[in-house]
Structure 1
Amino acid sequence: MHDLLPSLVLDSLRDRYLAGVADAEAFFDLHRADEDSVSGALGQSIAMRDPVVFSSSEGTYVVKIDYRKIRGRGPGAPERKYGSDGLFQIEIADQLGAVILRKGLVFQSKMNWRGKKTDLYKQAVLMETKFGGGLIVDFSSTGYKACTALAAIESRGSRPIAEKLGAMRPLGQFLSRDFLDCSIGKKGLFFDPVSERFYLENYFVSGVHLITTSIMVMRDGAA
């Protein structure tokens, strides 16, 4: 990501992700009825009302973050088939709409994860197998924490073991650091708005919660 976007843009995105997660945590009690409600509130908190334009010697960039809940419940829903119920994604395109980079990070939501959860372990295995990774996000009144799907597998779905391994970290850190620094997430994983499905290599995956960061490079800095 550093080779495509200047620090000005990356730092702004880091701040936005951190602030969005913090806002969602502050209003957790209003949405704690179920995982679906809390996931939606998180997406709305991170989303931006209007695009923001950044100009520097390196170029001009238009940044937009949006959230939408898309169809995917019932038979064949993504949580059952692929262990995930949402996706953080980034798209960088030029001013003509040609895609420069697409990457996505699937996530599975949990509420007040305590003890050992066999279903969580199975969901993590599916995410690791189908997408090469993902996040387990635990929503609670004490803050939003997460670990990678691989860490959930290594701990066999046990929160105490994941904590002992040092795998649980604030969600804001995962998004603002690991995701933007490309240490997590998969290139080529993206939501197709026409078919309303996620696309990865040669197969489609229907989904539920979609949090999209879009960056358009309007001109080269040397122009």
Structure 2
Amino acid sequence: MFKIKKIKRLSSALFCVFAGQAAAQQAAPTQYRGVDFADPTAVYSSAGIGGGTEGVDVFGSFAGYLGWQMKHQLTLEAKHDLDYYNLNYIAFNSRNNSGFLVDSTWSYDYKGDSVDKTAFGVIKKVPLSNEKITLYPALKLGMMWGNDINTTTYLDVEVSARYAVSDLFWIGATPQYLYALKGVNVKEFKGTVDIGYELAENVGVAAHLDENAEFWAEFTLAF
């Protein structure tokens, strides 16, 4: 296991690069837009690596068509130096901009206890009138369990917001609220601020900062 060093310098450098690229891009024509990396409902195959204050992450996705306007994607992530894993699935209808989600996490550290959790839900893509801002509200019903906690049923409400600074540069935020219906008393507000840039066709970088001041950045290659 290893940790990324000098993370504060890395985060400052990344945000400076993003800001500089955005300013340059505003005056330049669109060069590429192979994948909309800002869109959490975008369905594409990819591989990537990231890291931050909590360690190194690796991830990959496989995507395909289900027929008509339906596409689906399966994503596997190994997080924080392989401390825990996410397996997520989305089926999305591009005609009505709505989809179905299944998110699962294994060996997640919840207040010192190792827990597993799975949630099922729906997501909607809501472009606003100016076409610069897009909202992605999602509602999921989940279950969390572990050796040292009571099995817990919870609601997960999340609304991702994305603002297109230019064709290639975006900023956003993702507030999230967890509320336990049964089991452990969970009432948690979480959130991230997010920023990203498309470096080349099908190549993107992004950075995130959460409510605990944890920072991480990621490099994604779509194909």
- Which structure is richer in relative contact order (CA contacts within 8 A, separation 6 or more)? 1
Q: Would you tell me which structure has more strand in proportion to its own residues?
A: 2
Asked if these proteins are the same fold (TM beyond 0.5), I'd say no
TM-score normalised per structure 1: 0.33
